[in-house]
Amino acid sequence: MAETNDDVVIVENSSTVGQQLKQAREAKKITIAEVAAQLRLTKDFISYLETNQWDKLHGRAYARGYFSSYVSFLSLPQDELLAAFNLEYKVSEPEVHTHQLTLQKKSRLAPFLLILTVLILTWFAYQQWQITAIEESNETEVEIANDHESEDAFSSSVVEPLAVAENERVVIENGESLTEIEQVVEEELTTIDDKTVDNVEDVVVVPESQAEIIDDAVVNDTVAENVIIELHFSEDSWVEVVDADGQVLIKKIGKADKKIVLSGRPPLTVLLGHASAVTVKYNDEDIDTAQYTKSDVARFSLGVEL
């Protein structure tokens, strides 16, 4: 313990330098606030000196200066306590240095952790993008297949009914002609009273010859020469060509750098799945398919009589 004699303080050397300062202050019955006022320091700094918290005193130089002023204020042996301070400060300094190294290592690791996190997020984003691209590609293939099915339905619903309609028109015209002839014959028969059978036969023969002439005209009208269509492919493209008889001339994928020549009875119904990659010639005349193209799919007819 500490003893006082004519303001001279004797402190046991077994305690730390901070404890020695505290014992000397208490022996003189001086408060921390009074010491702080005399040394122009904060009360916290006085507490740090008495508890050996050197790391809170802004470095070794400041800590040694504050300690020396406190020792002088308490009239303690300067050289002895400064030597003890140097020893204790060296012991505590490596601990502080180790803590600083740990903080430095953590601060150095932070950028690497940030970069690693960014790379991981980028990888996940790329994987998600690939999955989305595959799904969109599958949806596009399904849409193209649906387009082909609808185009087949379009061909069957447009071309064939037209042919049937034309046949029906011919039959109706023939039927109307025969009906008119029969009506004429009946009228002639009802008005004949005194005419001979030869005259009646003459009346009947005339309509039959007229019917034969009408039939020949219809047959001649329906006969048409085949036409030639040439298809040049710069890239792969789906192609389908159907003639007026409903016969499918081609229905497949035309390969790049290939040429296909077809012949059929007009009009020809044409479907191109990649119209920009196909050049069309009809009877050696270039056909502009751009006016029939939508979303790079072209549908048009060639040889239609207006």
Q: Are residues 11 and 61 in the same domain?
A: yes
What's the number of domains the chain is made of? 3
166 lies in some domain = yes
Where does the pLDDT of residue 180 fall: very low under 50, low under 70, confident under 90, or very high at 90 and above? low
CA distances from 256 to 42, 204, 246, 286 (A): 90, 65, 27, 19
Q: Which amino acid is at 57?
A: L
62 lies in some domain = yes
Where does the pLDDT of residue 52 fall: very low under 50, low under 70, confident under 90, or very high at 90 and above? confident
Range in 5-14, 195-204, 271-280 the model is least confident about? 195-204
Count of C-beta atoms within a 10 Å radius of residue 252: 9
Query: CA–CA separation, 166 vs 169, rounded Å?
Result: 5
Range in 4-8, 50-54, 134-138, 230-234 the model is least confident about? 4-8
User: Averaged over 22-51, what is the pLDDT?
Assistant: 92
Q: Are residues 251 and 212 in the same domain?
A: no
Q: Are residues 203 and 243 in the same domain?
A: no
Q: Are residues 212 and 248 in the same domain?
A: no
For the chain, what is the radius of gyration of the CA atoms?
57
Query: CA–CA separation, 126 vs 168, rounded Å?
Result: 62
Q: Which amino acid is at 265?
A: R
Domain residue limits at 206: 146-222
Where does the pLDDT of residue 301 fall: very low under 50, low under 70, confident under 90, or very high at 90 and above? very high
Where does the pLDDT of residue 139 fall: very low under 50, low under 70, confident under 90, or very high at 90 and above? confident
User: Averaged over 215-243, what is the pLDDT?
Assistant: 77
Confidence at residue 151, expressed as pLDDT on a 0 to 100 scale:
65
Confidence at residue 296, expressed as pLDDT on a 0 to 100 scale:
92
Among 195, 222, 249, residue at a domain's last position: 222
Q: Are residues 261 and 202 in the same domain?
A: no
121 lies in some domain = no
**CATH number of the CATH domain containing 54:** 1.10.260.40
Confidence at residue 44, expressed as pLDDT on a 0 to 100 scale:
94
280 lies in some domain = yes
Range in 1-10, 44-53, 142-151 the model is least confident about? 1-10
Among 76, 95, 121, residue at a domain's last position: 76
Q: Are residues 28 and 57 in the same domain?
A: yes
Among 222, 250, 272, residue at a domain's last position: 222
Q: How many CA atoms lie within 13 A of 294 on its CB side?
A: 4
3-class DSSP state for residue 17? helix
267 lies in some domain = yes
65 lies in some domain = yes
Task: Tell me the per-residue pLDDT of 53-105, one tens digit each, with 9 for 90 and over.
Answer: 888 888 889 988 999 998 999 889 989 988 889 888 875 555 555 556 667 77
Task: For residue 56, give the DSSP letter.
Answer: G
150 lies in some domain = yes
Task: Tell me the per-residue pLDDT of 276-286, one tens digit each, with 9 for 90 and over.
Answer: 999 999 999 99
35 lies in some domain = yes
Residue 32: both structure tokens together: 């921390």
